[in-house]
Chain A
């Protein structure tokens, strides 16, 4: 156990120096970009905002079912199959069939090449499930159908969220999917997430619809409130143009009226429809509706064929900018709810870093002093190993660009405290061996060999805890699991290679010395 080949010594030295260099790249900037990786600071250390958004898919499902009833009705009409009484209740579509048609209706839904009911061969499942309850049939989304629907609305939502966050221009945002109905947004360096929160909280569903007094409007009507929550207007459900028709939107200063407005440009389809609507609707009020509230309802004075227009509604420059941003980035497929928020101000982050570093320095000093007092020369060896271990640990974290959090720093300090364990186990064993073994080298050899199982056991148990924590924990706690887990490997390396190397050099030079340890 005490013999080291030259090659191995070279390897150990090289490895240690390499990681010390990597670790120090966090402190210095190397000129030649030799290594420009850095440990990432977690949001709790650099300050920033962590937002967990949940997509409320209920409206999407409702909407899809609405569309489906139309599709089903038309589909069977075309095939001359009679279905009637089609209605939606509690996320199920119900309709009646005649006894003669029943089987053919069921066949349509169960056909693997059905146009009406897409089949997912991978999951061996249709989009829709049909339940045979006599002459009244029940159709609803299958499990796979719902999953598909959720993932697709998540895909759309994450795209919109990304656009909105990018438009605000925070540095290096992190936007990730979580499950099939959540989106995680990490915004480093942002200490006041108020604006982003309000931007993400809006669906930004924009429609232009005529104000009407005709209760019997062909498309139906609804009463909508204005933004100020005071006035109301009856608005047709017929949509002239919607947010999808927008090419661009920008905040502008209207110098004539001396107010901030949002000017927009429409795509070709939108421009055509807008032109037609404004030519036939001169004198009518056109309501601009955002997320179910009327921003404003100007009277159409002229045909607008240019495909561009403007929205006024008593905006401040900030609200106009935000509205333009929302319109540019598009509407969310479904409303988002912020179900978890954690924001740390940058000065608290800095305080945490300072406190963590002081705790690390003091913890380190205490352990080093204790080990030196207890073991003298071998304490010194342990301490040198401990320092190298710390650098290797930081080096590994740097190499993988791991995220360091406050609990992560605690994990490093704890590693320092527990790292001596392996060396202590070895040294204590050597002491015991020396009681009846006069040959120093043999005693040391025995000490290393016989303590090995205990050391492995001890480290595996801690590693198990760290692994579970890594998979179950979230955010800062995950950082703790990382440093604790990586710390175990670097500790084993430094104990079995670095400390053993020093020990072997010392012991072979003091072969005959009594009371070596």
Chain B
């Protein structure tokens, strides 16, 4: 069996590239470690009994978990972008969407700069284009080039 020579994947380069994607938090091991209890808290909402206790007193329920005050505040505010920064993952956080009775699309729209109707409309029209959304570095280079053209 012949196979193309396998390039050795450098883990540091592999992980560094993930930070170059605009508006995206790739769920790396570092985030998974940081957000472990946030995600396990969210998983606990799979049980109806826990959902009821959470709804009755959100703060008291959160105080049972070893979660930072910052993360507790973000959970109470349903500030999903901050939760992503703190290591939350959307598949786990979706247990909070369902506890709130929110559709996936509506909850997802709160992480964008659009209202839900605007977001839904964008999806119906073909979604967000990858153009200009692939690379932070490439965007910066393009803006720099445009600035130069404009200024000089």
* Chains A and B bind each other: no
| Chain B residues proximal to chain A, CB less than 8 Å | none
